């Protein structure tokens, strides 16, 4: 018995093709446009705070106008000034005199009741953020969570130390961060035996993309990202 040939799929109309091209272009343009807009806006915001603190005679826009007669508005001068000033302050703070001045200023601030609470809270927040920026996740891995037989992507932080390692026994433990989807900044801190952790070959960035996309963007073997089009066949 001959199986009838299925009819060919209907051709897409002109407006359907136009709509598909528009959506594809939107997907390409939107991330680039939003990134440029954020950088432009942030630069202008920093300039609006920093430039008023620079004496008019030393403002680059004023110097260019005085020497060339051309009125220009150089965006980003405030950002450059802020970076140079921050580097200078950090360099001074590393020295003995700088550390002494910082300790004296902190003791002065901590002697004021209300200012002391505000300063201590802000300092703790800044130190926490900077510490997170300096310490990155080591590897992406798989751990069984929330029960046996179900696996979740996690990121290895460090080897468990101190009381946690001592109370667990001789078996080595690792601390892993299990992110949530689609917001990977929230999640759970788990302490797992190293033997129960499966290290993945994919990079931390690829694993984060997989988590954020809820499994839609899957890293291929060559390191590029390939969207999943369907479930794999169990027989393969």
Which has the higher per-residue pLDDT, 83 or 11?
83
| pLDDT tens digit sequence for 131-182 | 555 556 778 999 999 888 999 999 998 888 888 888 877 888 999 999 988 8
Q: What is the pLDDT of residues 167-178, one digit of tens each?
A: 877 888 999 999
For residue 223, is it left (φ>0), alpha (ψ between -120 and 50) or beta?
Answer: left
Flag the least confident range among 7-11, 53-57, 97-101, 130-134.
Answer: 130-134
* pLDDT value for 76: 85
pLDDT of residue 223: 43
**In the chain, domain spans:** 139-227
Q: What is the CATH number of domain 139-227?
A: 2.30.30
| pLDDT tens-digit series, residues 223-235 | 445 544 444 444 4
Sequence-distant (6+) residues with CB within 8 A of 168 are 160, 191
Threshold 0.75, pTM exceeds: no
Q: What is the pLDDT of residue 232?
A: 44
Over the stretch 2-27, which tens digit does the pLDDT of each residue have? 666 666 666 667 778 888 888 888 88
């Amino acid at each position: 018995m001959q199986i009838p040939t299925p009819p060919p799929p209907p051709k897409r109309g002109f407006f359907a093709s136009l709509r598909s091209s528009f959506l594809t272009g939107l997907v390409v343009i939107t991330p680039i446009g939003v990134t440029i807009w954020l950088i432009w806006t942030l630069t202008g915001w920093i300039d609006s705070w920093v430039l008023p603190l620079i004496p008019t005679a030393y403002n680059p826009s004023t110097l260019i106008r005085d020497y060339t007669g051309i009125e220009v508005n150089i965006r980003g001068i405030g950002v450059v000034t802020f970076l140079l000033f921050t580097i200078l302050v950090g360099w001074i703070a590393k020295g003995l005199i700088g550390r002494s001045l910082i300790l004296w200023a902190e003791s002065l601030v901590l002697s004021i009741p209300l200012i002391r609470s505000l300063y201590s809270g802000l300092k703790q927040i800044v130190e926490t953020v900077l510490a997170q920026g300096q310490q990155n996740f080591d590897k992406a891995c798989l751990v069984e969570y929330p029960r046996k037989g179900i696996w979740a992507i996690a990121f290895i932080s460090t080897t468990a130390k101190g009381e946690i390692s001592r109370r667990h026994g001789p078996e080595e433990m690792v601390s892993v961060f299990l992110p949530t989807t689609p917001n990977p900044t929230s999640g759970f801190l788990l302490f797992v035996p190293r033997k129960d952790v499966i290290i993945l070959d994919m990079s931390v960035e690829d694993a984060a993309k997989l988590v954020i996309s809820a499994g839609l963007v899957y890293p291929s073997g060559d390191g590029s990202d390939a969207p999943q089009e369907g479930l794999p066949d169990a027989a393969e």
